[in-house]
Amino acid sequence: MTTPQLPARIAVVTGAGSGIGREVARQMLADGYRVALAGRREAPLLDTADGHPEALVVPCDVTRPDDVEHLFGSVVRRWGRVDVLFNNAGVFGPAASVDEISLAQWEEVLAVNLTGSLLCAGAAVRAMKAQVPQGGRIINNGSISAHSPRPRTVAYAVTKHAMSGLTKSIELDGRAFGITCGQIDIGNTATDIMDTIGVGSGALQADGSRKVEPMFPVADAARAVLMMAGMPASASVGSVVITAAGMPFIGRG
């Protein structure tokens, strides 16, 4: 007896031109998803897509409402629905404490990490409410900084703490429409941002020292996102924390 072919699921991945977003998008495409790749620059998105026939490249600045509406409108016009949003676009921001960061620096980090996530989630929810059958899943990329921040990362830490509130609000407000929302908090996966922090050469610790910290492959972080995305509609994964084994997170000092 032949197993019936399930319809392809439709996913939107923001920040798909590099790092975690790129790896998640590629693994989703390999797993049979149709994937819209969003990011500010077209060239890295095309590189992520690598000519895959089920990839849709849509340059998008998540801080611009018109760009976000264009992104989700393009997905619905192409494939008719949105099943999954991986809300991933973000920036680390400056190394600064609360008395050092400028207003412009603060607003730039909030615009991308928080307002951008809000705009994308809002557009996704509107699409998920309108489609038949109704519903879908949103996965917000938080950070272990949502639990325990690094020194001199005030803007990033605040946005990631706020992301936890956004996640819970979406989950609650989406309940009546079959929309679930969860958050993945990743620590020390091997992306370019680890070079910015200095994890491989010596990251600043709370006691003022610097310490080389372990990292783990970004492909493993992406597999955790796919696990969340692939859960049945009857289940909601509220929170996942995945870190490099042995990194100074539990009992960070």
pLDDT tens for the chain, 253 residues long, are 443 445 679 999 999 999 999 999 999 999 999 999 999 999 999 999 999 999 999 999 999 999 999 999 999 999 999 999 999 999 999 999 999 999 999 999 999 999 999 999 999 999 999 999 999 999 999 999 899 888 999 999 999 999 999 999 999 999 999 999 999 999 888 887 777 776 777 888 888 888 888 889 999 999 999 999 999 999 999 999 999 998 888 765 5
Does residue 216 contact residue 200 with C-beta atoms inside 8 Å?
no
Q: Do residues 14 and 89 touch, judged by C-beta distance below 8 A?
A: yes
Domain 10-243 sits in CATH 3.40.50.720? yes
Query: What pLDDT was estimated at residue 252?
Result: 54
Report the SS3 class of residue 242: strand
For 105, counting Cβ atoms within 10 Å of its Cβ (0-12 exposed, 13-18 middle, 19+ buried), the class is: middle
- What does each C-alpha distance from 72 to 22, 37, 98, 101, 110 come to in angstroms? 19, 11, 36, 34, 22
Instruction: Determine how β-strand 55-59 pairs with β-strand 203-204.
Output: unpaired
pLDDT of residue 96: 94
What does the block give as tokens for 37? 């790749």
Query: Looking at residue 8, what is its pLDDT?
Result: 74
The total number of residues written for the chain in this structure? 253
Q: What is the pLDDT of residue 2?
A: 40
- Can you give the pLDDT at residue 3? 38
Query: d(Cα 12, Cα 99) in Å, to the nearest integer?
Result: 37
Give me the active site residues, please.
156
Domain ranges of the chain: 10-243
Backbone angle region of 103, left / alpha / beta, with phi > 0 → left and psi within -120 to 50 → alpha: alpha
